Structure 1
Amino acid sequence: MAPDNNPFSMSTMSNALQRIRVSGSIPPPGFAPRASSDVSDTRFKRLFNLMTSCEDVGQFKDLISTFDQSELQRMASMLTSDSDYFMGVIRNKYGSRRVQRLLGISDDVDSLFCDAILQRFFDIMTDKFASYVATRAVVVFDRVKKHVMYKNVLYYALDIARSQHGCVALNEVVTDADDPLFRNRLLDVVARNALFLSNDPWGNFVVQHVLKLHDLRCKRNVAVILRGHCVDLSFKKYGSYIVEKLLEAEVSMVMVAVELLKCDGDRLMRLARSEFGNFVVLTALRVTQEMNRMDLFSDLVQKLMPHRHLLLGSHGNNIANLLETRRCSN
C-alpha cells in the first residue's frame, strides 16, 4: 500500500486534501519546517494549501469536528511550529478564517495559538486578515490567556491605533473586552493621547470609536485633553466628527461650546462657512438648545447673527436658516 502523505495520516484529512485543489499558494519566504524529511516538508506544504485554499471554507468546521484532541493539537502544533509559516497562513484571507475556527476548541490548542500570537503580536494586530485571529482569540481564550493578550494590547496600543488595520482591530478589542479594569485602562490610554490620535489619519478612528461607547468618564477625559484644540480639529474632516461626538454629552458639550464662544468673530465665521466646521457649529446650536442650555445657545446665536449674510450660499447655509428662524421668532 502506498504511504499516506497527508499531514495527520488520517482519512478525513486525506479526503479533504483531495477535495481541495492546490491553488498555487506556497509557504511564505523564509519558511523552513523544523522536520527535515521530504515527507514532513510535503505535509507542511499540504497543510498550508489546505488552510489557504479559497475552496470549501465552510466545510472546514465539519472537518475538524471529526478530529480528536490529539489530532487537533498536532494540527495546531504544525501551524504554529514556525512563526513565518504561521504568519503566512493567517495573513491569507482564508487561512485567517480557518485558524479562527480552531480557537476556543480546547485549552491545549489555545495555548499553542496564544504563544504564536504573542510572538508576533504587533505584526498580527496590524495586518488586515491576521488581526481577525487576534481579536477572536481575545474573545474565546480563557481568563489567564486573555489577560496576557490584554497586557500586550496595552503595551502596543498607540502604535496599533496608528495603523490602517490596527485601528480597526483595536476598536474590536475595546468593544469586546469583558474585563472592566482592562477596558478602563485602555480607554485611559486613548483619552490621554486623544490629541495625538485625533490628528493621526488612523488614530482618529479609535478616538471616534471610544466616544461612541457612551462612557461619560472617557468622554470627559477626552474633552479635557482636547480643550483648546476643538476649533482646529473642527476644520478637518475626521476631527470634526470627534468634536461632534463631544457635543453629544453635556459633560463634554459645555467645554466645546465655551471654546467656540471664545473664538473671535472672524474665526468662528470661517468655521461656520467651512466644509466640515459648519456641521460642528450647527450641532453646537442644536444640542445647546436640546439640553436646555439656553445661556450657551443664546450666546452662540448672538455671536453668529451679525454675520448671517456671510453664511448664505456657503457650507453654512443651514446655520443661516436656523439663525433666520430664531430672528423671526423674537
Structure 2
Amino acid sequence: MQIFEEMQSRGHESLTLLHHAPSGLKAALAVHSTVLGPAIAGVRLRPLDELEALRGALALSESLTLKAALAGLNYGGGACVLLLPDQGVDDPHAREALFRALGRQVRPLESRVVLTEDIGVTPADIAFVAQETPATLGVNTDTSSVTGYGVYRGMKAAARFALGSESMRGVRVAILGVGAVGRTLAEHLHREGARLTLADHRPERAQALADDLDGAAVVGTAELFDVPCDILAPCGYGHSIRSADVPRLQCRLIAGGEHHPLSRNGEAAVKEAGIVYMPDFAINAAGLIAAATALTPEQAAERVYGTVLRIGTVAEQYGKPPHVVARRMAERRIDLIGSLGTGTALQGRSA
C-alpha cells in the first residue's frame, strides 16, 4: 500500500499515528477534509493489523466527509482506528487509560478534529476522552440505536425509488451484521412485517436475534449473498461486498448501515448488474446528526429520510445511479461553502 498515493487519490489532508506505550494506545488518525469545519472522527476499536487500521482510517474518514456534507453539517470528515491493545481492555482502568491517552494525544489537534464513537466504542469511552480534550461529540447520545432507526427510515425512502413503495410489509430483507445498528434495524423492520434473513460473523448473535424476532431466518455469512431478497442491508465493518461477489447477489436494492460496503469497482459492478445502491454516507447519518445537533433521534432520522428521498428523486429525474447523485450532492456543498473562504462556518454548529 502506497500511503501518499492513497491519500492523494482520496484527497486526504493528513494521517497521524498515535502511540502511548503504557496504555497500549496505537492508533491511526486520518483527516480527510476540514473545508466545512473540524473533522468529525469516528473512533473504532477492533482487532486489526496495522495495514488494516490505516486502510480503515482512510476509507472511513472520506465517508465521514461526504456524510457530514450531505447532512448539512458544518464538519469535515476524519477517522481514528485503534488497534486492540495486547493486554485487552476488559480491565475498566485499562480502558479508561487507553481512551484518556487518546484524548491527551488528540488535544493539540482539537481545532481540527472532533472525536465521536464508532464500532467497538461507547459513549462512556468518549467521556474518558472528554476528560482530556473538549474535542468530542456523542457523550450523551446512543448513536448506534439512532443510526439504526435512521437506516430504517432511509431504507423506506430508498425503497420508494427502487421498489416502487416504501412499505416494508412482506419485503424480503437480508441483513449482514446484527450488532447494535443491525439489530435496531431488524427490530423496526420486523415490527412493520418485513421478512428477514439474518447473518453475522458471530452466528450465535444472529440466532439470538432471530429467536426474538418470530419468523426471521438465519444463514451463514458466506451464504447470505445467494439468498433471494428485495433488499440487502450490509451492517458490518466495511467492504462486506467484494466485487467478485456481486454476480451472486439476489437483491434489487443495497441499503444498510455499514460504512463503505463496496469499493469503487464494486459500485460499478452493482450498477452494471442493475442493482440500486443507496450509499452508506446518505443512509447511516442519523447518529452523527443527533450527536452534532440539538435534534431528537426522530428528527435526525427524518432528516435522513428527506435526504434519501431527494437523492432518489434527482436520480430518477436525470437517470443517474443514486450513489453517484449522492456523492455529487455532497461534493457540491463542499465546493460551494468552501468557496466562501475561512470563517464562514460556525465551528461545527449544524447548518
> TM-score interval w.r.t. the shorter chain?
under 0.3
More helix by share: 1
RCO greater where, 1 or 2, for CA within 8 Å and sep 6 or more? 2
**TM-score, length-scaled by structure 1:** 0.27
